Amino acid sequence: MTKRYEKLKWHNNAKCAVLISFDLDGDTIWKNGNRRYENGEKFIRSTSIGNYGPQKACENILDMLDRQNIKSSFFIPAKVVEDYPKLCKNIKDRGHEIGVCVCACVCVCHKHPP
């Protein structure tokens, strides 16, 4: 190691720092990504997979972070903030950082002509 890093002292004699962040996209990716397909909004994954994050998983993650005394960053589309204001307030109240990333996640895929 260089002399510069040998002098670096981390809290509680830790050897490194770790950043943990989460993207809480909800169902925005699936809804927007499926729009280009006929009846795409009816795909089962549009509601089941995407909504699992804000409806169940995020609370489990917050509980785990609390048990480990870890603060984190959550990047949340504005649409998810609108749809789940209590969850977002809970994230903030537990001391985590919230970054609003976009209005809604959009599929950047384009249909190409044959």
Phi-psi region of 88 (alpha: psi -120 to 50; beta: other; left: phi over 0): alpha
Give pLDDT, residue 1. Answer: 52
Per-residue pLDDT of 45-83, as tens digits, reads: 555 677 888 999 999 999 999 999 999 999 998 888 988
Give pLDDT, residue 32. Answer: 61
pTM for the whole thing? 0.70
Residue spans of the domains in the chain: they are 25-114
Instruction: Output b/e per residue, 81-93; b: 16+ Cβ within 10 A.
Output: beebeebbeebee
Give pLDDT, residue 20. Answer: 92
Averaged pLDDT for residues 33-50 = 64
Counting every residue written for the chain, the total comes to 114
